[in-house]
Amino acid sequence: MAQTDAQLVAATLAGDPKAFGDIVRRYQQFVFNAVYHYLGARGEVEDVAQEVFLKLYRSLDRFDQSRPLQAWIYRITANQCLDEARKNRHRKVKNFADLGEEEEERIRRYFDEDKHGASLTESEDNQSLQLLQKMMDGLPEKDRMAFVLREIEGLSYAEVSQALNTSVTAARIRISRVKKKLLAELGQVLGSRQGERR
């Protein structure tokens, strides 16, 4: 029978190395995807995820075992992503306003294909993440993190608020701020296409 998180934490603290391996296997998918969707670069994901689990291990003796482990992992993941973003601030992603005509056309085609239910190639799917990064550019890092955790990774508002150490209302405001910008950006690009057709 699978052990609970609390049992695995207790076993790790008692010196069982296998138990921590089980914790890593249980949460690695979440950590990898949250980091990937937040940073938008596949190359850095493994290093950042590794750092998340090393920090988790080092902080286990301070972890309040009456609380859920996953909330602790969400928080470490969010903090690590925000740290990475601070380090990479110089790597500015282009805004929608900076896109060339060719790139804009590709975005329009992407959404046209979505509308008609056509399947996209793998490279086009990867471009969709870059597109999201471009749309979210210029937003506060914590807003972006809240959006990724809630709208992409599917966490509840309460879990997002715990991860970002904020209130549920503040988390909701952050997410709606990102959504507002994304809808406006998308509306602008798709709207200009409709204008051209008229």
Partner 1 sequence: MNTNHIRFWELASDEEIDREHLSTCEECQRQAEIHRLLGIHLSRLPRIEAPPFFAARVQNLIGESRSSLVYYFERMAAQLVPLLTLLILATSVFIYTVNDQRTSQISTNSQAAQVLEESAFPEVSVENMIASYPDLDEGSRR
Q: Minimum Å distance from CB 176 to partner 1?
A: 5
Would you count residue 116 as binding partner 1 (CB under 8 A)?
no
CA–CA distance, 39 with 37 (Å, rounded to integer): 6
54-73 positions binding partner 1, by CB under 8 A: 54, 57-58, 61
42 lies in the binding site for partner 1 (CB under 8 A):
yes
- State yes or no: residue 11 binds partner 1 (CB under 8 A): no
Closer Cβ to partner 1, 13 or 90, answer by number:
13
Task: Name residue 57's amino acid.
Answer: Y
Cβ–Cβ under 8 Å, residues 170 and 142: no
CA angle at residue 39 from 35 to 40, to 5 degrees? 105
Exactly one of 83, 125, 158, 167 binds partner 1 (CB under 8 A); which one?
125
Measured from the CB atom, the residue of 58 and 67 that comes closer to partner 1 is 58
- Helices assigned H by DSSP within the chain: 5-13, 17-39, 42-59, 69-87, 101-115, 122-136, 141-147, 157-163, 168-197
In whole angstroms, the minimum distance from the beta carbon of 122 to partner 1 comes to 8
- Interface pick for partner 1 out of 10, 151, 168, 170 (rule CB under 8 A): 151
User: What's the rounded Cα separation, in Å, for the pair 41 and 37?
Assistant: 8
Burial of 132 (0-12, 13-18, 19+ CB in 10 A): middle
Judged by the rule CB under 8 A, the positions of this chain that interact with partner 1 are 17-18, 20-22, 24-25, 28-29, 31-33, 36-37, 42, 45-46, 49-50, 53-54, 57-58, 61, 111, 114-115, 120, 122, 125-126, 128-129, 131-132, 151-152, 157, 176-177, 179-180, 182-183, 186-187, 190
